[in-house]
Every structure is written in structure tokens, then in C-alpha cells.
Amino acid sequence: MYTQAMDQPDPQGGSLKAVRDAGADALQRGFDDRIDADRKVEPQDWMPEAYRKTLVRQISQHAHSEIIGMQPEGNWISRAPSLKRKAILLAKVQDEGGHGLYLYSAAETLGVSRDALLDALHTGKAKYSSIFNYPTLTWADVGVIGGLVDGAAIMNQVPICRCSYGPYARAMIRICKEESFHQRQGFESLMTLMKGTQAQRDMVQDAVNRWYWPVLAMFGPPDADSPNSAQGMRWGIKRISNDELRQKFVDATVPQARILGVTLPDPDLKWNEERGHHDHGAIDWDDFWAVVNGNGPCNKERLATRVKAHQDGQWVRDAALAHARKQQARALKEAA
Ligand code: FAQ
């Protein structure tokens, strides 16, 4: 009798199910061997569904962060204090948009559509970095975003250049080069302000006071409360844990703050000779989760601005599609 069941006896006496299970085991072993040997996984390679889903989650959150991250600084393009600063800021904000595009392309290689990813962002289902839900109140905030936020982003993203998934790792190489320019321009802008008037120095200190703690939280929850870390590290997606990266950032930021002449707003910050690292004070994780869950100072504004920009850009996407269809029809006609 005809059947579609998979566990029918086969002529050799086994069953199709056993054959299928052996095939799945071999695929899993091949994948594990590749990860253990630190070889890249490419889109055409077999991968476990959970690995694919984790990558879609992380890469799309990262892409969303880049494009939402255009807003806090974009807010200052029309008010930059000189033509030079305006040109630098325009380039930086455009770079962040570009990073979002490389990352959406990397996510698309995993079989998801960009429309679906953007829809998840626009309907509030997808996360993006907590850090972009804080307001940019003064020009010094722009320098602090460059110096501290991009500084943290580099610390987190350089290890992702060695991520096990090829398209993500390759996208990160270029992104990190650009982030490095972003960090330096931020530091240089702050240095200029610190060499200015007392009012300018106060403005920098105030911006550092407001951004420092959200930047520390940006690395994600402590390792003990990070549900995705262990598996992400086993798969070579994450290379360094949230807490280790945060520690590296604190250690790198202390001497930079000293050179700038600003005080980091942490009374418990001190060098620990035994550990060879700085100890730091407690992070307000309740504030972090409130922001992640949509209740930060600017979450609603950021999302509304993004949705409006997407709607306003509909005619551009329509025109590009119409042009592509026209070209295709012309090419078909010429080929006929
Ligand atoms: N904000 O288990 P973990 C930039 C979520 S780009 C919001 O530790 P995981 C450039 C996390 O998604 C900045 N949510 O998760 C720029 C998870 O939720 P889920 C973005 C956060 O994935 C500069 C839950 O908490 N960078 O700055 C945050 O192992 C200037 C549990 O956490 C990246 O995306 C947060 N801060 O580690 C642009 C880098 N932290 O998904 C413009 C790539 C954690 O289970 C201007 N991503 N959560 O519902 C990563 O390295 C990782 O995904 C982490 C989180 C480290 C962010």
C-alpha cells in the first residue's frame, strides 16, 4: 500500500527513519567539527535551526541599532557648530545607516526578508540597543556618543569580526574600521571642547555624567543573567562575554578620561592591584530593563521617527522597483 510514513522498513532491514536520523547526525557532526576547527559557516552550509535563529536575532538587532542609532546624532546635524563638524557628523551618521544595510544583507543570507525584519522593528517586536533611547541635549552629547558609545561598540564588535558565521564576520571588518574613525572624531571633538571655556568643559562633564552608566549597561546583562551567552559562545558567535567586554571598556576608558580631564561618575571606581583591573560600582539594571522594554526616555520618539521615515521613503522604493521592472522588460525585449 502506498504510504508517506518515514519509518517503513527498507530493503536492507533498517528503516527510513534510521537513515534520516543518521543523516541528521552526520550533518550535526559536520557542523560541530567546523565550529570546533574555527572554520566559517557559510549560507550554503547546513546549520542547526537554533544557530540560524540566534544569528537572525543578533544580526537583525544589531542592524536595527545602527539605523535607530542615526537619530540621536542626526538631531545635531543642522546645529553643528562649524562646517567641519557638520561634514564629519554627516559622514558618521551616513556610515551608521550603511552599517545597518550591510547587516540587513547579512541577515538576509539566513533566509529572512528585510521587510519581515523591518516590520518586527516597526511594530515594537524586535529589540535594538538600549543606548539609543537617551536624549542628546547638548553638542557635547555628540562627542560623548562618538567617544564612549562608539568606543563601547568597537570593544563589543571587534571580536565579532571572528564570528563563526562568514557574512556577519566579514560585514564587521568594515564596520569596525568605520567605528574606529567614529570613536576618534568623538574624542577629538571632546578634546577641543575641554580646551575651550569653563562652560564648554562643564557641558562635556554633564554629558559624560548622563551617558557613562547607560554605556556600561549597553554591553548587556551580567554573564550570570545572560540567557544567550553560553550557547552563543559555544557556537563562536560571541567570543568574549558581556562582563569581560564591560571590564575591558572600563579599563580603556579610565586613562582616556584622565587625558580629557573629565571625571567618570562612579565613586566606587578604583584600580584593583590583585585583579589587574578597575573595580566599578553597581549598574542600575532596573533602569536598563525598563529601557529595553520600551520605557526609556526616548523609545516612543525613536520608533515613531523610524516608522515615519520608512513611510516617507515608500515612493523611493516604489520608483526603484518600477525602474528595475522597466529595465528587465527592456532586456527581455532585446533578447527576444
Ligand atoms: N540593548 O543574553 P544576552 C552601535 C537583550 S551598535 C537592548 O546577553 P546576547 C553602533 C538581548 O538582546 C550597538 N537589548 O543577549 C553605533 C537579549 O534579548 P533577546 C548594538 C539588549 O545577544 C554607535 C537579552 O537582553 N550592538 O552602537 C542589550 O547574547 C553610535 C539578554 O541578553 C550590537 O548589537 C542592549 N544593550 O548579547 C550606531 C552588537 N543587551 O534577544 C550609532 C551585536 C542585551 O533574547 C551611533 N550584539 N540585550 O530577547 C551583541 O553583541 C549581543 O547581541 C549583545 C547581547 C551583547 C548586545
Q: Where are the beta strands (DSSP E) in 14-77?
A: none
Residues whose beta carbon lies within 6 Å of some atom of ligand 1: 57-58, 61-62, 65-66, 69, 96, 127, 129-130, 145, 149-150, 153, 156-157, 218, 220-221, 226-229, 232, 238, 242, 292
Task: Provide φ and ψ at 244, rounded to 5°.
Answer: -65, -40
pLDDT of residue 336: 86
Mean pLDDT of the chain: 95
> Cα torsion for 123, 127, 130, 132, to the nearest 10°?
-50
Q: Quick one: which of 114, 145, 141, 107 has its CA closest to 129?
A: 145
pLDDT of residue 6: 46
pLDDT at 66 over 80: yes
pLDDT of residue 59: 98
Across the range 2-28, mean pLDDT stands at 69
Task: Provide φ and ψ at 315, rounded to 5°.
Answer: -65, -30
Question: What is the SS3 assignment for 271?
Answer: strand
What DSSP character marks residue 292?
Answer: I
Per residue in 103-137, pLDDT tens? 999 999 999 999 999 999 999 999 999 999 999 99
pLDDT at 178 over 90: yes
Q: Whose CA is nearest to atom 28 of ligand 1?
A: 220
End-to-end CA distance of the chain, in Å?
Answer: 49
Task: Indicate the top mutation candidate among 51, 55, 56, 58 to test ligand 1's pocket, ranked by most ligand atoms within 8 A of CB.
Answer: 58
CA of residue 153 to ligand 1 center, whole Å: 10
Per residue in 236-291, pLDDT tens? 999 999 999 999 999 999 999 999 999 999 999 999 999 999 999 999 999 999 99
What whole-number distance in Å separates Cα of residue 69 and Cα of residue 284?
22
Task: Indicate the top mutation candidate among 51, 56, 65, 101 to test ligand 1's pocket, ranked by most ligand atoms within 8 A of CB.
Answer: 65
User: Is the separation of the CB atoms in 133 and 139 below 8 Å?
Assistant: no
Band of the pLDDT at 14, cuts 50, 70, 90? low
Per residue in 190-208, pLDDT tens? 999 999 999 999 999 999 9
pLDDT at 3 over 60: no
What whole-number distance in Å separates Cα of residue 34 and Cα of residue 165?
11
CA of residue 111 to ligand 1 center, whole Å: 21
Question: What is the SS3 assignment for 279?
Answer: strand
69 CA closest ligand 1 atom index: 42
What DSSP character marks residue 9?
Answer: B
In 3-state terms the chain splits into helix, strand, coil percentages (rounded to 5) of 70, 5, 25
User: Is the separation of the CB atoms in 47 and 109 below 8 Å?
Assistant: no
Question: What is the SS3 assignment for 165?
Answer: strand
Neighbour-count burial of 264, counting CB atoms closer than 10 A to its CB (0-12 exposed, 13-18 middle, 19+ buried): buried
Residue 86 CA, chain-centre distance (Å), reads: 25
What whole-number distance in Å separates Cα of residue 264 and Cα of residue 213?
9
Which one has a higher pLDDT value, 16 or 300?
300
What whole-number distance in Å separates Cα of residue 298 and Cα of residue 191?
28
